[in-house]
Amino acid sequence: MNTPVVEIKKLWTVFNHGDKASVVHKDLDMTVERGELLSLVGGSGSGKTVLLRQMLGLEHPTKGDITVLGKPAAELGKQGAASRVGMLFQQGALFSAFTVLDNIAFPLRELKVLPPDVIREAAMVKLQMVGLTPDAADKLPSDLSGGMVKRVALARALVMDPPLLFLDEPTAGLDPEGADSFCALLRSLHKDMALTVVMVTHDLDTLFELSTRIAVLADQKVIINDVPKKVVAFAHPFVREFFQGPRGQRAMQLLRQYPLTV
């Protein structure tokens, strides 16, 4: 039996505000299986971003266990984590004073074990893998469109060929054509690199375009973690509002046209 890439057991997240405590997660369980693209959705205040940061080891739960690639998530904060996990932040989080090439190469240079020519070659390969031409290498982030920023940030996240990739609102801020193009790129890389992907998104088009499974955060826990068609049919007020309201109609058409399976 294969070990899950991510396994969360009995997780609690409690924030203290003076003499008051706010419970965000309560006895939350979730797994991410190897090779899937799991999307995490939930309403405002449900703790999606908090949970993502906990899986990355950037924050720690009040209690409970998070295992990522067979090790405690807390160890991801240590040196070498980038070789195991890639992260694409919502706004790209590029270094404004670095060129495109230097941004992509940054994780490799931090290791201080590879010669400069090997680092440059690896960065150039990833630059072209995300659909950018070599002449973009010397540009600064301020010279790039929003879509190009996303692609550079994705190239940096993948420069060390990690088996696990986290995405935070990957198509936020992109126009429909740019979002469709970026989804196509992500789908291709997911397949070609045999990636396991965890994505946080509120965009239904992106959700149905990419997800093999969807985990829904509500009532302080994951209420369902299943294939899209089963999630959409799940009887819960948040699921009904999120997927079956007016904004969900176009995405539902996409799901019927291009059914996704695990």
Report the alpha-carbon distance of residue 228 to residue 244 in Å, rounded.
Answer: 13
Report the alpha-carbon distance of residue 249 to residue 231 in Å, rounded.
Answer: 15
pLDDT digits (tens, 9 = 90+) for 85-110: 999 988 778 999 999 999 999 999 98
Backbone torsions φ then ψ of 40, nearest 5 degrees: -110, 120
Closest Cα partner for 239 from 254, 259, 250, 225? 225
CA distance to 23, 34, 148, 258, per residue, from 188 (Å)? 38, 17, 17, 16
Q: Which two tokens stand for residue 88?
A: 């694409």
**Given this structure, which CATH class describes domain 1-78+163-262?**
alpha beta
Strands lying side by side in the sheet with 63-68 = 20-32, 6-17, 63-68, 71-72
Q: For residues 113 and 193, which has the higher predicted lDDT (pLDDT)?
A: 193
Q: Is the pLDDT of residue 79 over 80?
A: no
pLDDT at residue 84, rounded to an integer: 85
pLDDT digits (tens, 9 = 90+) for 186-205: 999 999 999 999 999 989 98
Report the pLDDT averaged over residues 58-81. Answer: 83
Domain ranges of the chain: 1-78+163-262, 85-161
Element housing 179 (H / E): helix 176-192
Q: Are the C-beta atoms of 88 and 162 separated by less than 8 Å?
A: no
Report the alpha-carbon distance of residue 129 to residue 154 in Å, rounded.
Answer: 10
Cα 227–chain centre separation: 17
**Those residues with Cβ within 8 angstroms of residue 248's Cβ, 6 or more apart along the chain or in another chain:** 204, 242
pLDDT confidence tier of residue 112, bands split at 50, 70 and 90: confident
Q: What is the dihedral of CA 230, 13, 3, 156, to 10 degrees?
A: 90
pTM of the model: 0.88
Closest Cα partner for 200 from 189, 190, 185, 211? 211
Q: Which two tokens stand for residue 223?
A: 């209420």
Strand-pair category, 213-218 with 196-200: unpaired
Q: Is the pLDDT of residue 6 over 70?
A: yes
